[in-house]
A and B are shown apart, each in its own frame.
Chain A
Amino acid sequence: MLKTLFHSQLQLGLAQAGVAALTALLVVMAAARRGIHLEKDLAIAMARGLVQIVAVGSILLLLLRSPSWTSIFLLIAMIIAAGATSARRAKGMPGAFQVSTWSIACGAGSVIALMTALGVIDTPITALVPVGSMLIANAMNTNGLALNRFRSDVLAHVGEIETALALGADGKSSVSPYVQVSFEASLIPAIDSLRSLGIVWIPGLMAGMLLSGARPIYAAIYQFVLLAMIFAASGLTSLISTLLIRARVMSPAEQLILRPGQ
């Protein structure tokens, strides 16, 4: 219906964005009727998301003719932004931004570098940046989930942790059970994505490849490749961040720093 009303691609895009945003707004209104207020969060998130993706689209347009190495700077900027975003999920955790940024850089960055070196990810900027950004974005989400879960588990088990410390346990082993649980919980979405691939959803990359004329089997295999890379990047990021944050919640004198009200 929209296509009959709007003939320019830009107008059509804005109209489609408006309809999709309206649908999300209806969900928020339904939630508000049940006392769950997401209006402000959603409004900010949607406005930011739209501005950011349009900005990236514009930058990509400019970079299309740039040499491949320029994509490194774009990916580094994305990693820093991802670190800042996922650190917000770990409010009150000491050094959350540094931990998040380093973890995403090492986790997603090393997978992007390895896969590019092996030729799994193509080097032109039009391939490297979108695929790299998918890995970084998923690593960011996994990192946010891991830190958020670790924070809430530690705060809920201060008594158990300090009992272990008071009995002579070292700081790292006192919080180890919560590191393991956080790591496992953070990977549930990535595992579920792999498990339900093709049955519950046909991901965007595969749909895009099919639309651009790729052979369906290759598009399907490459989608699996992408999800496996996402799992590797997310898993490595989560592993690094939970290990780094484990050391940050203890002082040098093995005192628990992350406590309610501090």
Chain B
Amino acid sequence: MKYPGITDLKMAEGLIFERSHAGRQAYSLPEENLEGVLDAIPANMRRTAVLPLPEVSEGDVVRHYTILSTYNFSIDHGFYPLGSCTMKYNPKINEEIARISSFSQLHPEMPTHLSQGALKVMYDMQNMLSEIGGFAATTLNPAAGAHGEYVGIGVIRKYFDEKGDTKRTKVIIPDSAHGTNPASTTLHGYDVILLESDEHGKISLDTLREKLDDTVAGIMLTNPNTLGVFESDILEITKMVHEAGALVYGDGANMNALLGKARPGDMGIDVMHYNLHKTFSTPHGGGGPGSGPVGVVEKLIPYLPNPFVAKKDDDTFVFAASDRSMGMVRSFYGNFAVILRAYVYILEYGNQHLKEIAENAVLNANYIKAALKDTYHVAYESDTLHEVVFNDQDMPNHVTTLDIAKALIDRGFHPPTIYFPLIVHGALMVEPTETESKETMDAFIDAMKDIRKQAEVNPENILNAPLKTRVARPDETLAARKPVLTHCTTDFCER
């Protein structure tokens, strides 16, 4: 099998500051006389600090960033099975439509009767996401998944505060959860109660029952969970939580497994965030911008953040606000251009095809699991949906998960998510998504088997990986010990 990873010509590129040469420029502005203009600003309010930005030509800038781009691996290069991140193909039509100037250049304070197109996008997305998740209403404000969690828990807190139920000070979170869950919870003043997963990697009803009482505001769960395992007791779980007077938060990071197949709202989940940059194909952008809309059940609608889009009797759209809201959580309305891309995506699949996303995602993950389960240890026996977690338990010659990840890079694949979830020692979390072909996955499977074999017969090849990249195994300890977070030219180091 030929892997996609080969060595190739790589250009060497230093920092942009090294290209700087006084007198060059990469901007084009009209000639105009600006003499004396600065007089309008009182002298004591003017900048005196130097501004050591680079001076480069347009060609310099373009070459610099183009060369830097070649140092990245991306979905458009190849397989990127980063578990829990849903690195699916990012459709190009989304990009084209997001760049239509009367969307991208539309000012957020434009009177609503002059921005009805954008408001319709938001109104439709509020409704379509509610339909997909089985919720009564959805806010589009949150800028990312963790921001959605922040909003969701804020809605829960506001709900109990308004009821005067102030003794509920805790939120239960399974030990398999994303780190954002506990971090979002404490931002609302709640204490986190850790819920240990059972031997199948799931929530145990008995353990949950022990932790539930009238001091619990809610539980945050991910379904399917971070092992890709569906919490099949979900109806019992949500019932038990509701009977204790608490609410259920769903982390929608893994919604790709459920699209058109099942709806969290139908399972008793009261609040859930979607990740448009995972499930709905918007690009991850090297770490954002994302979008994390939040769906809620009927009784929680009044507490959603402001503002939202409403439709008037005459079928026009306006912004509206609730006076019982948890408040504002950002400027304006959300990452509109991301929401617009996700809207294009949902319309392209339509009611006919949306569930094929989940079906293919689950098929692909199970195929990889079946093909590799005899080569790599599968952490939990349970059936899995859209992702599978292996680990390095049976690896010979002290080869670890990190080594496997680096060896995959040499073979032309982005590594899976590693060392997460925390409940699996040495986890390798593989999420292929629906947009990968059988041939791509077969190549990945062969690479994984080859790594296992090399670990036995030629461990140096794996332990020293990657061998084909420009840099290998950066020293993270050195980076953290004396952090260098900015470039300092000799002249401007006093900052």
Is chain B found bound to chain A in the same assembly? no
A-to-B contact residues, CB < 8 Å = none
